[in-house]
C-alpha cells in the first residue's frame, strides 16, 4: 500500500464538515409506474450527499481524482423503511462516522421534507413530513490509479 497521499492532492479551503444535508426532489424518471421511487434511485442520492460534504470543504471529487485519489465503495447497506414518491422533497443527511488512513464510513438518513403532487393515476401518494424513508451506511476505500489501496490525504483521514 502507498503510505502517502499524492503530493498534488487538493487541500480544503474551508473547515471539513463531518455532517451535512442535501435537499432534492424525486424526479419522474426515478419512479415506477405507480409513482414510487425505485430502490436504486437512493444510491446516487447517497453519493450526492457524500460529494457535497467534500464540496462544502472547498474540494470537489473531480479534484481528488485528478490528483490520483479515488474513493471506491467496498460496502453499502440500506434499510428501506417507507417509500418516497414522485415530486416529494427529500433531505439526505450524511455523516462521517469513521475515517482511517485508507477508509471512510458514512451513515445516511433520507427523510421526507414535503409530500409531492399526486400522480396521474389519481392515487394520492403522500407521507408525513419528517418521516425517515431510508437509513444506510457506506464504506469507501482510497485507491490509486492502478486500483491498489492508497493513503487518503491527511485532512480527509481520521488518524
DSSP string, 113-151: EE--PPPTTS------TT-EEEEEEEEEEEE-TTS-BBP
pTM of the model: 0.88
CA–CA distance, 136 with 111 (Å, rounded to integer): 12
Indicate the DSSP class of residue 22: E
Starting at the earlier edge strand, list the strands of the sheet with 70-80. 19-25, 89-99, 103-114, 132-143, 70-80
- CATH 3.10.129.10 at 19-143, yes or no: yes
Is the pLDDT assigned to residue 4 strictly greater than 70? no
CA–CA distance, 9 with 125 (Å, rounded to integer): 46
> What is the pLDDT confidence band of residue 3, given thresholds at 50, 70 and 90?
low
Residue with cell 474540494: 59
Q: Are 54 and 64 in contact (CB under 8 A)?
A: yes
Report CA Rg, the chain: 18
Is the pLDDT assigned to residue 82 strictly greater than 80? yes
Residue with cell 427523510: 111
Predicted pLDDT at 119: 54
> What is the pLDDT confidence band of residue 83, given thresholds at 50, 70 and 90?
very high
- Tens digits of residue pLDDT in 100-114: 999 999 999 999 999
**Interacting residues of 154 by C-beta distance below 8 A, sequence separation 6+:** 5
Amino acid at each position: 500500500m502507498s503510505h502517502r497521499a499524492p503530493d498534488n492532492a487538493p487541500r480544503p479551503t474551508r473547515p471539513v464538515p463531518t455532517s451535512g444535508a442535501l435537499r432534492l426532489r424525486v424526479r419522474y424518471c426515478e419512479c415506477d409506474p405507480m409513482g414510487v421511487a425505485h430502490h436504486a434511485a437512493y444510491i446516487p442520492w447517497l453519493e450526492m450527499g457524500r460529494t457535497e460534504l467534500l464540496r462544502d470543504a472547498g474540494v470537489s471529487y473531480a479534484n481528488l481524482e485528478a490528483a490520483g485519489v479515488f474513493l471506491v465503495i467496498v460496502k453499502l447497506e440500506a434499510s428501506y423503511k417507507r417509500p418516497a414518491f414522485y415530486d416529494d422533497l427529500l433531505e439526505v443527511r450524511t455523516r462521517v462516522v469513521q475515517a482511517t488512513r485508507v477508509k471512510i464510513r458514512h451513515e445516511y438518513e433520507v427523510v421526507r421534507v414535503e409530500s409531492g403532487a399526486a400522480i396521474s393515476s389519481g392515487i394520492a401518494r403522500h407521507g408525513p413530513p419528517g418521516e425517515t424513508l431510508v437509513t444506510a451506511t457506506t464504506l469507501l476505500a482510497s485507491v490509486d490509479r492502478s486500483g491498489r489501496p492508497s493513503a487518503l490525504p491527511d485532512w480527509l483521514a481520521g488518524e
